[in-house]
Amino acid sequence: SEVELAIRGGMIVTADGMRRADVGIAGGRVVALAERIEGAAQVIEADGLWVMPGGVDTHCHIEEPNAAGGLSEESFITASRAAFAGGTTSTVSFIPQWKGHGILERADDYARRAATGMLDHSFHQIITDPTDEVLERELPQVVARGIRSLKVFLTYDAVHLSDAEYLRVLRAARKHQCLVHVHCENYDAIKWRIEALLAAGLTAPKYHAWARPPVVEREATHRAIALAELVDQPIQVFHVSCAEVAEEIAAAQARGVKVWGETCPQYVTLTADDMARTSAKDGAFEGAKFICSPAPRGADEHERVWDMIRRGVLDVVSSDHCAYSFEGPNGKRQNGTDRFDRIPNGIPGITARLPLMFSEGVSKGRITPEHFVRLVATNPAKMLGLWPRKGGIHVGADADIALWDPQRKRTLTNAMMQHVADYTPYEGMEVTGWPVRVLRRGESVMENDQVTAQPGTGQFLPRAPYDMIAPRGITPNGFAD
């Protein structure tokens, strides 16, 4: 077919190799990969640049209400700008459910909100109240819309599931062919730690990490996997913060259980000590900028997480972007308190995800360029059923492409993030490697920090059943309901 646009002279980096070649694009898709493509109507010269798939971020909180009554501030438009600025072109965000309500009532609302943005997108359906009505009548209708992933929480007051409720969700997911993503922390253990810390008068942001040490994450991860194994339902453990949690996943994988682990840039860059930072202006409240769950761990944990990434136990890196400004009505101070347990959990990271993983991973020699592409684009696309349309550069794929300058050095600032939040936890960090131009379905949407995509151009990505989420057909005693 006729090549409308050629990317010429770059180094193509995909999940399985690097090669110098031109990319031919037509109709928003890759139509040719060849040593030399002539006669294209338009040409982008990419000498010295790496041509990589646009990032696929399968864990972003966008326009999402939280339990404390606030709203994560990123809109689908500001999230799109921020994502493109950092080389990401597709996202999967969340549709909430409140206890006592159904899951269908917000479906049209979120479809409409996301359609105002510029990202190609899908959703995870959060389940907080797994009634028969929700699981048997509504869930099939959600699946019919092309949404095939459920998110559940084992902690947080307003949303956590009991083991009985979690089992019901697993069974329904198995029946209706959805993947289940699990936030693994022990609810009662954290509640008990919070009460003890508050009773002792320990309220500063740094006690967030004290309230939820690795053992509460490890216990919940072990339990989440065991129950998934009982039901024979594939799961992905979200935001694994440390090696002892990843070891639970590795042990189950060795038994053949379909369980995967996701981690995030904050777990190889931030530490619990960041929550103890102080500033002249804000005193100890400065540490609130780093409050997310699970909490970042000790500095020595970073290399252990990289080991788990290299072993393939952690095979997806998402942002868990969940932006609350420091100041302002939905910000970290929204409850007018310095109490760590009332500060909204979450940090902005949709822009910095790729640059941080590229710099800490590829530029520092911890992983290969191909492994980087697998972590941030190919594996998330495969995990969520978006492959082969997303996550690679091959004939037939959407032409979602980030052109990287692998040598470009930058010092991260909040302005560079282009998100709505008034701070970045990565302020002042040095990175090597930056996306200088981004195409979404063949259209140039970002060049040298200028995002040019028009609101309303993002497309919903419906998902069909796929192999990774099929049950194994193996249960402990052969009985599957």
Task: List residues binding Zn ion (CB under 5 A).
Answer: 101, 105, 183, 320
Using rule CB under 6 A, residue 78 touches ligand DUC: no
Using rule CB under 6 A, residue 271 touches ligand DUC: no
Using rule CB under 6 A, residue 322 touches ligand DUC: yes
Residue 274, SS3 per DSSP: helix
Q: Which does 241 bind (CB under 5 to 8 A by kind): Zn ion, ligand DUC, none?
A: none
Cβ contact 290:270 at 8 Å: yes
Using rule CB under 6 A, residue 91 touches ligand DUC: no
Q: Return the number of the residue (88 or 345) whose C-beta is nearest ligand DUC.
A: 345
Using rule CB under 6 A, residue 289 touches ligand DUC: no
Candidates 269, 345, 378, 379: give the one binding ligand DUC (CB under 6 A).
345
Report helix angle 214-231 to 163-176, nearest 10: 50
Q: Return the number of the residue (333 or 440) whose C-beta is nearest ligand DUC.
A: 333
From residue 254, give the alpha-carbon distance in Å to each of 239, 288, 374. 20, 38, 21
Cα pseudo-dihedral 301, 306, 310, 311, rounded to 10: 20
**What do you get for the CA distance between the two ends of the chain, in Å?**
50
CB of 447 to Zn ion, least distance (A): 30
* Bond preceding residue 388 cis, omega within 30 of 0: yes
Which helix (H) or strand (E) segment is 387 a member of? none
Candidates 61, 124, 151, 206: give the one binding ligand DUC (CB under 6 A).
61
> Mind giving me the DSSP string for 300-359?
THHHHHHHHHHHTSEEEE---B----SSSTTSTTTTS---GGGSPP-B--TTTHHHHHII
Using rule CB under 6 A, residue 346 touches ligand DUC: yes
Q: Return the number of the residue (350 or 381) whose C-beta is nearest Zn ion.
A: 350
Q: Which does 345 bind (CB under 5 to 8 A by kind): Zn ion, ligand DUC, none?
A: ligand DUC
Using rule CB under 6 A, residue 265 touches ligand DUC: no
Using rule CB under 6 A, residue 183 touches ligand DUC: yes
Q: Return the number of the residue (25 or 292) whose C-beta is nearest ligand DUC.
A: 292
CB of 41 to Zn ion, least distance (A): 42
Q: Return the number of the residue (127 or 292) whose C-beta is nearest ligand DUC.
A: 292
Q: Which does 101 bind (CB under 5 to 8 A by kind): ligand DUC, Zn ion, none?
A: Zn ion
Residue 216, SS3 per DSSP: helix
Candidates 241, 293, 325, 418: give the one binding ligand DUC (CB under 6 A).
293
Angle at 271 between CA 266 and CA 277, to 5 degrees: 115
**Which residues, 6 or more positions from 392, have their beta carbon under 8 angstroms from its beta carbon?**
14, 15, 53, 377, 378, 381
Closest residue to Zn ion, Cβ-based?
101
Using rule CB under 6 A, residue 218 touches ligand DUC: no
Provide the β-strand partners of residue 430: 411
Q: Return the number of the residue (345 or 379) whose C-beta is nearest ligand DUC.
A: 345
H runs (alpha helix) in 255-311: 266-269, 301-311
Question: 393 to 422, contacts with ligand DUC by CB under 6 A?
Answer: none
Q: How many Å apart are CA 207 and CA 229, to the nearest integer?
A: 34
Candidates 320, 341, 360, 400: give the one binding ligand DUC (CB under 6 A).
320
Cβ contact 114:145 at 8 Å: no
Q: Which does 292 bind (CB under 5 to 8 A by kind): Zn ion, ligand DUC, none?
A: ligand DUC
Q: Return the number of the residue (87 or 346) whose C-beta is nearest Zn ion.
A: 346
Q: Return the number of the residue (148 or 160) whose C-beta is nearest ligand DUC.
A: 160
Query: What are the structure tokens assigned to 294, written together?
Result: 């699970």
**Positions in the binding site for ligand DUC (CB under 6 A):** 61, 183, 292-293, 320, 322, 345-346
